[in-house]
Amino acid sequence: GFYPVSTGFTPENIRVFDLQEGGFLEYRPLHPYFTEGVAAQKLFMLMQTSTETLKTLQITTKERRMVLDSLLAFYQLHLPELGKIKSLEVLRMMMGKS
């Protein structure tokens, strides 16, 4: 399998998640496949959190949606056959309306 790489960074220096390369950066890449700001920082923090301490991660509904959208964009870029996730609307409803 494959997944985003989060080694070598701290939350303070994360600015961008490069969807094409699957890693975090301090600066925007030259291509358009990236997410930045809070979504990139929260994704990084999520990846650094163990399942035992996941409950302690402070993340709003809006931030959860941004992280989900970033992860979906990453996997859709690398797995075009994935297509549209049919259960996404159900998942969004479960995450709340905020």
Element (H, E) at 74: helix 61-78
Per residue in 69-97, pLDDT (tens digit) is 999 899 889 988 877 777 777 777 776 65
pLDDT of 98 > 50? The answer is no
Does the residue 18 lie in any domain?
A: yes
Does the residue 75 lie in any domain?
A: yes
Q: Work out whether the CA dihedral 96, 22, 33, 86 comes out positive or negative.
A: negative
CA distance 34 to 28: 7
Does the residue 2 lie in any domain?
A: no
CA distance 16 to 27: 6
pTM: 0.79
Check residue 97 and give its pLDDT: 56
State mean pLDDT over 6-34.
Answer: 89
Does the residue 65 lie in any domain?
A: yes
Q: Considering its fold, how many domains does the chain have in total?
A: 1
Chain CA centroid to CA 96, Å: 18
What is the extent of the structural domain holding 69?
A: 11-95
Per residue in 53-67, pLDDT (tens digit) is 988 999 998 999 899
Contact 29, 16 (CB under 8 A): yes
Per residue in 37-55, pLDDT (tens digit) is 999 999 999 988 999 998 8
Does the residue 1 lie in any domain?
A: no
